[in-house]
Structure 1
C-alpha cells in the first residue's frame, strides 16, 4: 500500500545496495520503520534480516546487466547505494567497490531510462584538507589525499557524468565519519568495544592502545545519517542540489572517542598513546576536518540530533548485537 512520506511525496519502494554493511544496516532499519518497501541487493543474502526483500548480486555476471534487470523488475522509486570498500588497503578492491560499482549502477539506470532517484553515499575524504577551524562545505576543493578518497571521488564523478547525459535524478551524500553499533573490528571503536568487553567478562581493567594521530574529525551517529538518507529518498527540494555534506559541525579526537566509550562502559581502563606510524593510511593526510551541514539543513530539514556521549553510550549498550563484519561494506568514515 502506498504511503505518503515526510513532505508529501510518494516514494515507497527502495532498492538498497550494500544493506548488509555497517551503515547500510542502519539505513535499512530506518527506511523500514518509515514504511518503505525495501529490497536489499547483496552478495550475502543470508545476512539480510527476515522480512526484507533480497536481490542477490552474483560475482560472475556483469554488474550493469544485473542492476538493470533488478531495477526493471522491481521498479523502485529510489535506489540507494551504501556499498563500498574502506578497510582493505588494496587498490584493485578500492577501485572495484568505490568507482566501478557506482559507475555500473548509474549506467544500468541510464540504459533503461530509470526515473528513480539515485542516492549515493560518498565520503568526506573526497575533499582536500582544510586548516583549523575551517569547516568543509560543498564548494571546497575535491583534492583527496588517500587512495580511498580518490576512488570514492572517481565514483562520484562518473555518476554525475552519466547523470548529465541520461538526465538521471542523483544526489550524493558525503558522510563525515559515521559511528554506531556493530562497527567492524578494523575500526578503532570496534576494536575498543571488543577490548572493553573482554576485560568486563574477565573481571580485569582494560588496557586500550591508540596512535597519537593528533587528528580531529566530525563523528556522526549512524542513526542520524540513516535519517538523512531517508529524507534524501523522498525530498522534492533536491533539484539542482547534487551534493550534500552530512556531519555534526563539531570536532572530536580519537582519544575523545576511546575515553568516552570506556567511560560509558563502566569498565576500569588505562589508555596507552603510541607515536603515530610513518606513512599514511586512508585519512592520515588531514589533521582537521568537520562538516558544514548548512545545505543539508536547508534542503533536507536535517541536522544531527544525537550528542557524542549519547552515541557512545548506545554503542556500548548494543555491543554484541548482530555480527560486525571484519571488512566493512559501506562508504562511512571511521577512525
Structure 2
C-alpha cells in the first residue's frame, strides 16, 4: 500500500520517516516543526495535500526549558490532532511518543504498554501530557490515531548535544587530522534500550498502513539493554579511529538520571498487531552512523528536535 503522507517535523525522526516513506513509494509532504504555527495553516496544508497519513515527528528534548517542552511536546501535539480533524480528509494520525513517559522500573523488568505512566523528568512529563492530549482529542473528534512510544532512537544525523552525536563528531575530527580522539563520558551505570532510527521509521510505516491499530499504543524498541559506555566504545571501534575514553564521575556523588537506571522495551504488541519488530543489529546501526558522519563535509550536524532521548 502506498499513498501520500504529511510529516510534521524535520529533525532526526522526521528525516528518517520521510526517507522511509519515500523509499516505499509514498508521496511525502513535509511541514516544519514550529510550535507557534496556527492551526488553520496546518489544516489548510492537510486539506491541500489530502494525505492518508499524518505523522507528528516533532518535539523538543535538547532544550529542556518548561515553556519549550510545553509548546513542542504538548501544544503542538494538540494542534496537529485538531488540524487533522478540521481538514476532514480522513487521515490517520501517527504520533511519536517516548519511553520516558513510563515510570522507572527495576531490572530486569521489560516495559509493556500497560506499565505505569508516571515519568519523573520534565521531558517525560511533557511527552506523556502530549500523548494523553492526542488520545483525548482524537477520541473527541473522531480521528483515527496511533501512538508509538519510541525508546532511545539512534541513527545518522543525531544532534551533537547527544552522547553519540558528540562522540561521532570527535571521531570524525580526529580521523581527518590523524590524531587520537579524546572521548568523555559521565560514568553512570544506566541501561537503556536503543533502537535504530530506520527501524523506528519502519514502525511508522507499519502504523500508517496497518488495517487494525487498536488499542492504538505501541512500544518501539530493540528489547536489548546497553550502557552509554558500551555504545561509545562500540562506535569508536567501528570507526577504526584511535581513541581514549575518559569516564568522569557524576557532578554529584550518587547522581542518577531522573528517569531511572534501567529501561527495556517489550514490543510484543507491536509485532502482534502491526507486524513490526526491530531488524537491525547494533553493529549495522553504528556503521551507518559512522559512514554518514564521515561523508559529511564538516563534522557535526545542526541541533535538531527529537522525540526521544
Return the TM-score normalized by structure 1.
0.87
Counterpart in 2 of 1:24? 14
Mapping of 1:144-155 within 5 angstroms?
Answer: 144-155=119-130
The 4+ residue runs of structure 1 with deviation greater than 6 A are 279-282
Once the two structures are superposed, the pairs formed by residues 1-335 of structure 1 within 5 Å of their partners are 5=1, 12-18=3-9, 20-42=10-32, 59=36, 62=38, 64-238=39-213, 240-278=214-252, 283-321=257-295, 325-333=301-309
Q: Supply the RMSD in Å over aligned alpha carbons.
A: 2.0
SS in 1 for 2:81: helix
Instruction: Give the number of aligned pairs.
Output: 307
Query: For residues 285 and 27 of structure 1, what CA distance do their matches in structure 2 show?
Result: 26
Q: 1:155-210, CA deviations, whole angstroms, 9 ceiling, x for partnerless residues?
A: 11111111111121000000000001111100110110111111112212112110
Q: SS state of the match for residue 99, structure 1?
A: helix
Mapped contact 2:187–2:247 kept (Cα < 8 A): yes
Which whole-Å CA distance do the structure 1 matches of 2:307 and 2:98 have between them?
6
- Cα 1:163/1:282, change in 2 over 3 Å: farther
Rounded Cα–Cα distance in structure 1 between residues aligned with 2:242 and 2:248? 20
8 Å Cα contact 1:211-1:275 kept in structure 2 = yes
Task: Give the 3-state SS of the residue equivalent to 1:95 in structure 2.
Answer: helix
Unaligned runs of 5+ in 2: none
Alignment check: 8 A CA contact 2:5 2:28 kept: yes
1:198 is paired with a residue whose SS is: helix
Q: What TM-score results when the alignment is normalised by the length of structure 2?
A: 0.94
The verdict on how the C-alpha distance between 1:268 and 1:134 changes in structure 2, with shifts beyond 3 A counting, is same
Q: Per-residue deviation at 1:281?
A: 10
2:158 counterpart SS class: coil
CA distance in 1, matches of 2:292, 2:303: 20
Structure 1's unaligned 5+ residue stretches are 6-10, 44-56
Give the 3-state SS of the residue equivalent to 1:302 in structure 2. coil
Instruction: Tell me by how many angstroms 1:325 deviates.
Output: 4.6
Greater Cα offset, 317-326 or 263-272: 317-326
